[in-house]
Amino acid sequence: MTSFSDLGLAPGLLRAVADKGYDTPTLIQARAIPALLDGRDVLASAQTGTGKTAGFVLPLLQKLGAPKGRAPRALVLTPTRELAAQVAQCAREYGRHTGLRMQVIFGGVGEKPQIDGLRTGCDLLVATPGRLLDLEGQGALDLGEVAHFVLDEADRMLDMGFIHAIKRVIRLLPAQRQNAMFSATYSDDIRALAARLLHDPVAIDVAPRNTVAERIEHVAFKLPKEHKRHLLAHLIKDGAWPQVLVFTRTKHGANRLAEQLDGAGIRAAAIHGNKSQSARVRALEDFKAHRITALVATDVASRGLDIKELPHVVNYELPNVPEDYVHRIGRTARAGATGHAVSLVAPDEAGLLRDIEKVLKRAVPYAAAPAFEISAAPPPRREAPAPQHSAHSARAAHPERAAHPGRAAHRGGAAQPPRRGGPARRHGGGGRAGAARRPGSAGRFSGGRKH
Ligand code: AMP
């Protein structure tokens, strides 16, 4: 088996790798590190979780050698601030015995500290495209010394509409340079970008294209949209899930679900592009420190989240782009852990699941939903939508639970809505009787406010 010392890495980098507790290189590291040390361009198909960051950061640091000048000689471009921060953090850790200077720049925070940081000198710069171009335009950054360029998560860059920004950045770089491009998925646009950027690249494909780590257990539950949050709350509580990353399609949906989970007694926070950088960092830190159980994210915000051994990922809504499923579940089963990917599929999403199965080249089986209760449903102000629910209430339930006003138990997605204008409303949510909600949250439901 290859060891890190077989890869030709310098002693200071080997020490840093040992400090991190890595024993053996991952597949991408074993292939990318020698190629990049050799000065070759690299095109790597590698999902997050494969150890790709060390795969390019370690050889870059070795190429840089010792600190020199003020302008960056290596540039890593990432789609999101979270990923930029994370790559920069890795670079600092891997480069701790080298004396090399790392800087990170991204939008959403003040420019001044970033400009000051660049002024003090920088060997490796990690950046998102917008802020990079801003600072370059202001004359705060000189890209004329960049000899090594990495485009990380190139597919997501394109999804986020960064193609023109990327092209502008490339035009600002010296013609003579080493390039590497990492992408989890491959489209024609990605191939076109690779052809433009890379010269005779070493192609590395550690995970067959668009397939997902085998060790992830995929399961889907079919149920009406309005039952999803109840099943989710049940799965989290009943399974005593310590941590779950939940994906919604919209920022608004992420906020609302985080509130609803909170209302059901599950500590949750939302993370998406409308949140300030400090709110996103706080949510992530709270999640990593287990101060919150559920992190509700949109696809874009989830990029770059490195959460060790995240056991559960839930697709609260299926992504419109099937490849996003691959990115989402890349958050679980990282670096050798096993993972569990749950998809909650409303009837109108069944086609999306079929598209996902085509991309995965495997089935995502539907399972019978466990019995779950509609415990914290805000009673509708006027009409209870009884007819939709009744179609799903055929299977056995827990009669003792259903006996609580405003609280019904369900199996296989079955649900009994609270009676119209019934006790739930009058008594601050009948669901309060025994429902696992935090004190104070009942008030939210008492007025029958819509969620
Ligand atoms: P990445 O795909 O770069 O986001 O890395 C995924 C996770 O794997 C990170 O938490 C890394 O710290 C970890 N990791 C990277 N390389 C190794 C290795 N050789 N052995 C064990 N863990 C690693």
Q: What is the pLDDT of residues 159-202, one digit of tens each?
A: 888 999 999 999 999 999 999 999 987 788 899 999 999 999 99
Q: What is the pLDDT of residues 400-421, one digit of tens each?
A: 333 333 344 554 443 433 333 3
Mean pLDDT of the chain: 81
pLDDT-derived band of residue 48, with 50, 70 and 90 as boundaries?
A: confident
Tokens linked to 251 = 């920022």
Q: Is the pLDDT of residue 210 over 80?
A: no
Q: What is the pLDDT of residues 285-295, one digit of tens each?
A: 899 889 999 99
What residue owns the CA closest to ligand 1's atom 19? Answer: 25
- Decide which of 370, 389, 424 is a domain's last residue: 370
Regarding whether 363 and 223 lie in a shared domain, the answer is yes
- At residue 214, the pLDDT reads 62
Regarding whether 152 and 8 lie in a shared domain, the answer is yes
What residue owns the CA closest to ligand 1's atom 5? Answer: 51
Which pTM value belongs to this model?
Answer: 0.59
Regarding whether 390 and 313 lie in a shared domain, the answer is no
Q: What are phi and psi of 285, to 5 degrees?
A: -65, -40
Regarding whether 297 and 420 lie in a shared domain, the answer is no
Q: What is the pLDDT of residues 311-365, one digit of tens each?
A: 889 999 999 888 888 878 876 655 455 678 999 999 999 999 999 988 887 888 8
What residue owns the CA closest to ligand 1's atom 11? Answer: 51
Regarding whether 244 and 148 lie in a shared domain, the answer is no
Regarding whether 390 and 298 lie in a shared domain, the answer is no
- Give the distance (Å) from ligand 1 centre to CA of residue 126: 18
- At residue 319, the pLDDT reads 92
Query: Is residue 35, in this structure, part of any structural domain at all?
Result: yes
- At residue 250, the pLDDT reads 92
Q: Is the pLDDT of residue 439 over 80?
A: no
- Decide which of 341, 370, 399 is a domain's last residue: 370
Regarding whether 346 and 264 lie in a shared domain, the answer is yes
Q: Report which of residues 234 and 381 the model is more confident about.
A: 234
- Give the distance (Å) from ligand 1 centre to CA of residue 282: 23
Q: Is the pLDDT of residue 437 over 80?
A: no
pLDDT-derived band of residue 212, with 50, 70 and 90 as boundaries?
A: low
Give me the number of domains the chain comprises.
3
Q: What are phi and psi of 145, to 5 degrees?
A: -105, 0
Query: Is residue 380, in this structure, part of any structural domain at all?
Result: yes
Q: How far apart are CA 396 and CA 252, in angstroms?
A: 34
The residue-averaged pLDDT of 267-288 equals 87
Per-residue buried b or exposed e for 346-356, using 16+ beta carbons within 10 Å of the residue's own CB: beebeebbebb
Fill in the DSSP letter of residue 26: -
- Give the distance (Å) from ligand 1 centre to CA of residue 262: 32
Query: Is residue 211, in this structure, part of any structural domain at all?
Result: no
Regarding whether 220 and 150 lie in a shared domain, the answer is no
**Ligand 1 binding site (Cβ under 6 Å of any ligand atom):** 22, 25-26, 29, 48-54, 306, 308, 334-335
Q: Is the pLDDT of residue 249 over 90?
A: yes
What residue owns the CA closest to ligand 1's atom 20? Answer: 22
- Decide which of 346, 370, 394 is a domain's last residue: 370
Q: Is the pLDDT of residue 59 over 70?
A: yes
Burial of 434 (0-12, 13-18, 19+ CB in 10 A): exposed
Regarding whether 391 and 297 lie in a shared domain, the answer is no
- At residue 275, the pLDDT reads 81
Q: Report which of residues 273 and 52 the model is more confident about.
A: 52
Regarding whether 112 and 261 lie in a shared domain, the answer is no
E strand intervals along 301-439: 312-315, 339-345, 372-374, 408-410
Q: Which residue range forms the structural domain that includes residue 223?
A: 216-370
- Of 2, 14, 17, 22, the residue with max ligand 1 atoms within 8 A of its CB, to mutate for a pocket test, comes to 22
pLDDT-derived band of residue 304, with 50, 70 and 90 as boundaries?
A: low
Regarding whether 95 and 232 lie in a shared domain, the answer is no
Q: Which of 145, 102, 144, 142 is nearest to 125 (CA)?
A: 102
Query: Is residue 187, in this structure, part of any structural domain at all?
Result: yes
Regarding whether 53 and 41 lie in a shared domain, the answer is yes
